[in-house]
Amino acid sequence: MKVIVVGSGPSGMIAAIRLALNNEVVLVDSNNSLGKKLLLSGNGKCNYWNRNIVPSKYITDDGFILSSILTRDNIDNTFKFLDSLGLYPTIKGDLYYPYSENSHSVLSILKRKLESSNVEIKYNFKVIDIKKENGVFTIVSSDNETITSDAVIIASGGSSMKKTGSDGSIMNILKSMGHEVIPFIPSLNRITLGCNFKSIENIRSRASIKVLVNNEELFEDSGEVLFKSDGISGIVSFNASAYVSYYLNKGNNIDIAINYLNNIDNVDEFLKNRSEQLNNPSIESLLESLIDYRLMFYLLDYISLNKDKLYNSLTEEEKNNLISVLTNNKYRALEVGDLDSSQVSIGGLKLTNINPNNFESNIVSNLYIIGEALDVAGICGGYNIAFAFISGFIVGCHLC
């Protein structure tokens, strides 16, 4: 069987490698080189896997279908295949990186295997049309070059970081064939809040973030928060942004609550004991070494509390306001950064349009859609590359 794979991201490369065991495979890509987006992942370190791959780490409209894909067997078998290719990890907590901590190592392993498997690679081949007649697919490029095949795998990604070739244009082709496509929206990006953070811009603080959808807590994560003039960034913000973007797009009110003392169980009791230990200090002295000075002054100004006021002289209302601003500092979420600057896009082909056992389209036989082209978007932590590998491996096994 001759198979054309459209896209040279992790899903496309793994599918092509697995397929090449028993098929003639042509891998086409609109770029002049393989894996451009892969090279940028994890700031060039390529966090490609996670010990805890579960549906709750992903956003999709069809979670029940995703659960049937992310089975223990599918996850374990994919990881074993990656191991068989020579991808040896260094593990940091739940995160898997190549031992070299260099994304070029991952790409080199995949590229070498593609070459040794005799996969034909066509660069600068931007697909503008896919036709099927009498069981044969014809793929048309922007240069009017055509290739025919018995099966086609769409692994062209979503619509984030367009400079890497993921512009989402192939979704128009899938829609013309009768598929249902969810428009792409940004994810894993900075969050713009209804605030003015100019006085604390570029400060980094350890904190936890909660996403509140119509006042109901939906997501919480902790780590380092980077303040921007009009919002927040950093990995914790990126993870929160997936839920902010998804639910804002559905017309909900979204609030972000920041807890700067998230590692302290009872902040009220902690501050009382600390005040006794420090012999009734000023608020500034009380908070000294707990949070950054500029952040401290911003928060005290936020609740109109004088930094020189003694802790024991505070009224109950002032103490409650202080605890609230330190542990539940709320802002309305307005938007997430645009698609071009996002690491991942939410949206794509609805999972109800595919057979979850092999990723074949329910509308066009022998057409398969995998990776970020599907309506599956993970948070930070290797989840997106892992899903790309899993989906590519499954379809590769099915067609072998």
User: Taking a C-beta distance cutoff of 8 angstroms, is the pair 197, 353 a contact?
Assistant: no
Going 386 to 381 to 49 to 28, the CA torsion angle's sign is positive
Do 165 and 208 share a domain, yes or no? no
Tell me what pLDDT residue 79 has. Answer: 97
Do 275 and 167 share a domain, yes or no? no
Tokens at 277, concatenated: 């230990």
Tokens at 203, concatenated: 């400060």
Q: For the residues 345-366, what does the mean pLDDT come to?
A: 97
pLDDT reading at 376 higher than 90: yes
Do 88 and 202 share a domain, yes or no? no
Do 128 and 230 share a domain, yes or no? no
Q: How high is the mean pLDDT of the chain?
A: 95
Do 216 and 151 share a domain, yes or no? no
User: At a CB cut-off of 8 Å and minimum separation 6, what does 333 contact?
Assistant: 191, 192, 193, 194, 211, 244, 248, 254, 255, 256
Find the CATH number of the domain harbouring 149: 3.50.50.60
Do 36 and 89 share a domain, yes or no? yes
Do 159 and 302 share a domain, yes or no? no
Do 54 and 162 share a domain, yes or no? yes
pLDDT tens, residue by residue, 219-256: 999 999 999 999 999 999 999 999 999 999 999 999 99
Do 166 and 52 share a domain, yes or no? yes
Give the Cα separation of 382 and 385 in Å (integer). 6
pLDDT reading at 166 higher than 90: no
Please state the domain count of the chain: 2
Which residue among 298, 314, 337 closes a domain?
337
User: Taking a C-beta distance cutoff of 8 angstroms, is the pair 282, 308 a contact?
Assistant: yes
Going 318 to 321 to 323 to 325, the CA torsion angle's sign is negative
Do 143 and 209 share a domain, yes or no? no
Give the Cα separation of 119 and 100 in Å (integer). 26
Which residue among 337, 359, 384 closes a domain?
337
Tell me what pLDDT residue 160 has. Answer: 87
Which residue among 298, 322, 337 closes a domain?
337
Tokens at 205, concatenated: 């603080």
Tell me what pLDDT residue 400 has. Answer: 85
Closest CA to 224 of 248, 207, 239, 201: 207
Tell me what pLDDT residue 161 has. Answer: 82
Give the Cα separation of 2 and 23 in Å (integer). 6
Residue ranges making up the domain that contains 204: 190-337
Do 165 and 243 share a domain, yes or no? no
Do 15 and 138 share a domain, yes or no? yes
Closest CA to 390 of 184, 380, 378, 238: 378
Residue 257 pairs in a beta bridge with 210, 330
Q: For the residues 198-216, what does the mean pLDDT come to?
A: 96
